[in-house]
């Protein structure tokens, strides 16, 4: 049985059954009822999931934080004579040129050629691929250099030019792994400070960092990828983008709680969108001390409330979302799968958690303020009839799940 | 209570005098030494938090001036570029004195310049370099940004 057939059979179980077409018609008519994932918590608590599903059409989510595995494809235009660029640099940051004559891919963790990296530890990593994408969407000029071997059809061997995003023939933000569904809470049990992609962690477990928008996070509100699939239209970097595949490292088999939500890093999304309509406010070059460069990506996924199950999923609160505490001083680097217990996002957001019998101060790395702003912007777009839902043409690999009660 | 943080610069001659002792005894102020680098016969540096009645703190400062010890407010030495800051919260785990903290339940990241000791740890800790140290030319060459 295909996924789509399975979904058709499942549909019959519900008291409320809405289609994408019905919801989109309501959006067009300016009648759609839209709330953010934070607001949905109270709606479901007060009205119950069936009533909530009857009344609410769309729940908007949002997240804004560092997302490695992001980057952009550029087609930077031909030279005279023509060139088949083999090596490409933009502002001294290498892009991958092995695609075609003048296509390249700039990845966000790429650093400048002469960056001292971690030679003076911890390195600062001031400028990299993410900063280039930010500069381009901010309208700044960048300096492109390319080297090539000559052929009969592409005679040029080098090119240097200044250009802006508007000068590019094509610019596609293409992030193979964004919006991690849940992530570890990081501590450090070693004797020295460690500088990780989870921030700097003091020795002997004196602080804990976590990185998720919790109740606002896209995939924590659609834990089984019931509506987030290939073709889902989303808020991406301030513009409109699409979910185009499950992301790299997508792991639906991660352990889940009774509400179906993973308690460890699980699902991921690959997302794409036209870079030219995005904004530097929502794509930010990142320098993580001692670790490297990256980019913060603003991402918002609308979740259609097709039935009471989706209402229940999106009604999840920080108290019902959990993650594990992992040691980045020794365990993570040495691939030791051990954890120091489970904590809820409500506990993490309170500022103090218990780890191995000790009170530890927590800091977020993912912006809740901006996540909320994204969910609000997306809500506005939908209410104004400017944004319609994309119905997935296919779905991510998922896990079997149904609510017990 | 009135609380202010100052960067004190001692002339060579006063480096070996018990100035802080007199400060407390005569002016009834509480103090907290956040950083000190004082060696005999050298210009000394101290980052001092003074707490007490406003008049007492003022008089204590006048006393310091009379000894040729300069006291410079540190508030305002570190700035947050509000346009750059994206409210991630990473700095709240880095700031040793709680000048960067989270306001709940909004989860807003607040910067309180009055509490800041200008240690500079957040400058490289902030992933978008929103925290900037801006010193007067008068303090140039004095490395108060080195970690305590
Ligand atoms: S780390 Fe930087 S961007 Fe993040 S909240 Fe602090 S000042 Fe703002
Ligand atoms: S300079 Fe030091 S004290 Fe001031 S806000 Fe930054 S970390 Fe805190």
> What DSSP line would sit under A29-61, residue for residue?
TT---EEEHHHHHHHHHHHHHHHHHHH--EEE-
Question: Would you say the CB of residue B129 lies under 6 angstroms from ligand 1?
Answer: no
* Mean of pLDDT values over A25-34: 97
Q: Are A260 and A398 in contact (CB under 8 A)?
A: no
**How much is the pLDDT for A201?**
96
Among B73, B104, B130, the domain-final residue is B73
Q: Range with the lowest mean pLDDT among A103-107, A353-357, B6-10, B131-135? A: B131-135
- Residue A178 to residue A270: CA distance in whole angstroms: 6
Do residues B61 and B106 both lie within one domain? no
- Residue B135 to residue A9: CA distance in whole angstroms: 68
**How much is the pLDDT for A10?**
60
pLDDT for B148 beyond 50: no
Q: Considering the entire predicted model, what is its pTM?
A: 0.89
Q: Are A305 and A311 in contact (CB under 8 A)?
A: yes
* Mean of pLDDT values over A44-50: 98
Instruction: Outline where A196-293 has alpha helix (H).
Output: none
* Mean of pLDDT values over B80-106: 96
The pLDDT confidence band at residue B92, using thresholds 50, 70 and 90, is: very high
Closest-CA distance, B4 to chain A, in angstroms, reads: 26
Name the residue among B107, B127, B128 with its Cβ closest to that of A368: B107
CA-nearest residue of chain B to A298? B86
**How much is the pLDDT for B51?**
86
Average pLDDT across chain B, whole number: 85
Task: Give the residue, by CA position, lying nearest to ligand 1 atom 4.
Answer: B88
Question: Roughly how many angstroms between the first and final C-alpha of chain B, as a whole number?
Answer: 25
**How much is the pLDDT for B2?**
83
Task: Give the residue, by CA position, lying nearest to ligand 1 atom 8.
Answer: B85
Task: Give the residue, by CA position, lying nearest to ligand 2 atom 7.
Answer: B95
Do residues B11 and B31 both lie within one domain? yes
The pLDDT confidence band at residue B10, using thresholds 50, 70 and 90, is: confident
Task: Give the residue, by CA position, lying nearest to ligand 2 atom 8.
Answer: B95
Residues of A with CB under 8 A from a CB of B: 64-66, 122, 124, 126, 199-200, 207, 209, 284-289, 296, 349-351, 361-370
pLDDT for A115 beyond 70: yes
Judge if the upstream peptide bond of residue A81 is cis by omega within 30 degrees of 0.
yes
- Residue A93 to residue A168: CA distance in whole angstroms: 17
Closest-CA distance, A286 to chain B, in angstroms, reads: 5
pLDDT for A5 beyond 80: no
- Residue A70 to residue A68: CA distance in whole angstroms: 5
Q: Which of B49, B122, B144 to mutate to test the pocket of ligand 2 (most atoms within 8 A of CB)?
A: B122
* Mean of pLDDT values over A354-372: 97
Interface test with A, best of B80, B86, B94 (most A CBs within 10 A): B86
Q: Are A307 and A402 in contact (CB under 8 A)?
A: no
- Ligand 2: distance of its center to the CA of A91 in Å? 32
Do residues B42 and B84 both lie within one domain? no
Cα dihedral A354, A356, A357, A359 in deg (nearest 10): -40
Name the residue among A351, A361, A369 with its Cβ closest to that of B87: A369
CATH of the domain at B99: 3.30.70.20
**Max Cα-Cα span within chain B:** 52
**How much is the pLDDT for B104?**
96
Name the residue among A64, A286, A364 with its Cβ closest to that of B127: A286
* Mean of pLDDT values over A124-145: 97
The pLDDT confidence band at residue B146, using thresholds 50, 70 and 90, is: very low
* Mean of pLDDT values over A127-142: 98
* Mean of pLDDT values over A79-87: 96
**How much is the pLDDT for A278?**
98
Nearest to B97 by CA among B134, B122, B67, B68: B122
Is residue B97 situated within a structural domain? Answer: yes
- Residue A350 to residue A352: CA distance in whole angstroms: 6
Interface test with B, best of A198, A289, A293 (most B CBs within 10 A): A289
Q: Are A374 and A297 in contact (CB under 8 A)?
A: no
Q: How many CA atoms lie within 13 A of A264 on its CB side?
A: 14
Do residues B57 and B86 both lie within one domain? no
* Mean of pLDDT values over B137-148: 45
**How much is the pLDDT for A1?**
56
- The rounded percent of chain A whose pLDDT value lies above 70 is 97
If one counts the domains in chain B, the total is: 2
* Mean of pLDDT values over A241-247: 98
Question: Would you say the CB of residue B128 lies under 6 angstroms from ligand 1?
Answer: yes
Pairing assessment for the beta strands A358-364 and B2-10 based on DSSP bridges: unpaired
Name which residue leads in pLDDT, A226 or B134.
Answer: A226
* Mean of pLDDT values over B104-109: 96
**How much is the pLDDT for B1?**
75
pLDDT for A66 beyond 60: yes
Do residues B32 and B92 both lie within one domain? no
Is residue B83 situated within a structural domain? Answer: yes
- Ligand 2: distance of its center to the CA of B79 in Å? 10
Residue-range definition of the domain harbouring residue B99: 78-139
- Write the ipTM: 0.93
Do residues B69 and B6 both lie within one domain? yes
pLDDT for B5 beyond 80: yes
- Residue B20 to residue A115: CA distance in whole angstroms: 45
Residues A89-102 pLDDT 10s? 999 999 999 999 99
The pLDDT confidence band at residue B141, using thresholds 50, 70 and 90, is: very low
* Residues of A in Cβ contact (< 8 Å) with B92: 363-364
pLDDT for B143 beyond 80: no
A325, containing H or E segment: strand A322-327
Q: Are A211 and A299 in contact (CB under 8 A)?
A: no
pLDDT for B4 beyond 60: yes
Q: Which of B116, B124, B145 to mutate to test the pocket of ligand 2 (most atoms within 8 A of CB)?
A: B116
Closest-CA distance, B125 to chain A, in angstroms, reads: 6
**How much is the pLDDT for A75?**
98
pLDDT for A310 beyond 50: yes
CA-nearest residue of chain A to B83? A281
pLDDT for B18 beyond 90: no
The residue to which tokens 């990081």 are assigned: A186
Is residue B55 situated within a structural domain? Answer: yes
Name which residue leads in pLDDT, B13 or A341.
Answer: A341
Is residue B120 situated within a structural domain? Answer: yes
Among B73, B104, B129, the domain-final residue is B73
Do residues B35 and B56 both lie within one domain? yes
Average pLDDT across chain A, whole number: 96
Is residue B145 situated within a structural domain? Answer: no
- Residue A292 to residue A329: CA distance in whole angstroms: 18
Is residue B9 situated within a structural domain? Answer: yes
B44, containing H or E segment: strand B44-52
The yes-or-no answer on residue A293 being catalytic is: no
- Residue B148 to residue B134: CA distance in whole angstroms: 18
Question: Would you say the CB of residue B130 lies under 6 angstroms from ligand 1?
Answer: yes
**How much is the pLDDT for B147?**
44
* Mean of pLDDT values over A182-210: 97
Nearest to A221 by CA among A321, A345, A347: A321
- Ligand 2 contacts (CB < 6 A) are B 78, 94-95, 97, 99-100, 116-122, 131
- Residue A90 to residue A144: CA distance in whole angstroms: 4
Do residues B50 and B88 both lie within one domain? no
Q: Which of B115, B121, B129, B135 to mutate to test the pocket of ligand 2 (most atoms within 8 A of CB)?
A: B121
* Residues of B in Cβ contact (< 8 Å) with A369: 87, 106-109
Q: Across the A/B interface, how many CB contacts are shorter than 8 Å?
A: 72
pLDDT for A274 beyond 90: yes
Name which residue leads in pLDDT, A10 or A328.
Answer: A328
Do residues B64 and B10 both lie within one domain? yes
Among B73, B92, B116, the domain-final residue is B73
* Phi, psi angles (nearest 5°) of residue A5: -60, -45
The pLDDT confidence band at residue B74, using thresholds 50, 70 and 90, is: confident
**How much is the pLDDT for B52?**
87
pLDDT for A84 beyond 60: yes
Q: How far is CA B119 from the centre of its chain?
A: 8
Q: Range with the lowest mean pLDDT among A106-120, A135-149, B67-81? A: B67-81
């Amino acid at each position: 049985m295909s996924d789509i057939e399975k979904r058709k059979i499942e549909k019959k179980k519900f008291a409320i059954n809405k289609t994408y077409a019905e919801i989109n018609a309501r959006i067009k008519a300016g009648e759609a009822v839209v709330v953010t994932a934070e607001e949905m918590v109270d709606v479901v608590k007060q009205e119950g999931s069936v009533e909530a599903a009857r009344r609410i059409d769309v729940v908007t989510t949002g997240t804004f934080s560092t997302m490695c595995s992001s980057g952009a494809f550029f087609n930077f235009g031909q030279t005279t004579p023509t060139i088949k660029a083999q090596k490409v640099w933009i502002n001294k940051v290498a892009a991958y040129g092995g695609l075609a004559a003048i296509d390249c891919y700039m990845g966000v963790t790429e650093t400048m050629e002469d960056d001292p990296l971690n030679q003076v530890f911890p390195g600062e990593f001031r400028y990299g691929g993410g900063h280039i994408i930010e500069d381009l969407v901010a309208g700044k000029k960048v300096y492109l250099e390319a080297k090539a071997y000559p052929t009969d059809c592409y005679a040029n061997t080098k090119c240097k030019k200044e250009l802006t995003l508007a000068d590019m023939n094509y610019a596609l933000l293409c992030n193979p792994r964004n919006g991690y569904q849940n992530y570890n809470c990081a501590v450090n049990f070693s004797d020295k400070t460690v500088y990780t992609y989870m921030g700097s962690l003091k020795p002997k477990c004196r602080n804990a960092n976590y990185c998720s928008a919790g109740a606002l996070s896209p995939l924590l509100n659609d834990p089984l990828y019931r509506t987030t699939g290939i073709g889902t239209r989303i808020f991406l970097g301030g513009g409109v983008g699409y979910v185009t595949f499950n992301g790299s490292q997508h792991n639906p088999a991660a352990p889940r709680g009774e509400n179906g939500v993973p308690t460890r890093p699980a699902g991921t999304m690959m997302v794409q969108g036209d870079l030219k309509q995005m904004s530097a406010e929502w794509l930010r070059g990142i320098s993580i001390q001692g670790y490297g460069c990256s980019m913060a990506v603003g991402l918002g996924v609308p979740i259609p409330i097709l039935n009471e199950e989706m209402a229940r999923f999106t009604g999840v609160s920080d108290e019902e979302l959990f993650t594990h505490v992992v040691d980045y001083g020794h365990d993570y680097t040495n691939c030791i799968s051990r954890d120091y217990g489970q904590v809820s996002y409500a506990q993490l957001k309170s500022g103090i958690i218990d780890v191995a019998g000790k009170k530890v101060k927590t800091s977020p790395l993912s912006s809740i303020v901006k996540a909320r702003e994204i969910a609000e912007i997306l809500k506005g777009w939908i209410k104004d009839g400017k944004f319609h839902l994309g119905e997935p043409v296919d779905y991510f690999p998922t896990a079997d799940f149904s609510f017990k009660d | 209570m009135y609380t202010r943080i100052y960067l004190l610069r001692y002339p060579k001659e006063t480096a070996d005098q018990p100035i802080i002792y007199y400060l407390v005894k005569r002016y009834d102020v509480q103090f907290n030494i956040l950083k000190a680098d004082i060696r005999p016969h050298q210009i000394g540096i101290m980052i001092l938090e003074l707490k007490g009645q406003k008049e007492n703190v003022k008089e204590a400062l006048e006393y310091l001036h009379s000894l040729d010890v300069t006291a410079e407010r540190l508030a305002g030495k570190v700035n947050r570029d509000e346009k750059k800051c994206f409210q991630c919260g990473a700095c709240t785990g880095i700031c040793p004195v709680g000048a960067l903290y989270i306001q709940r339940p909004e989860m807003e990241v607040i910067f309180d310049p009055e509490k800041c000791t200008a240690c500079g740890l957040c400058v490289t800790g902030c992933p978008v370099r929103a925290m900037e140290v801006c010193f007067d030319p008068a303090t140039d060459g004095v490395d108060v940004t080195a970690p305590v």
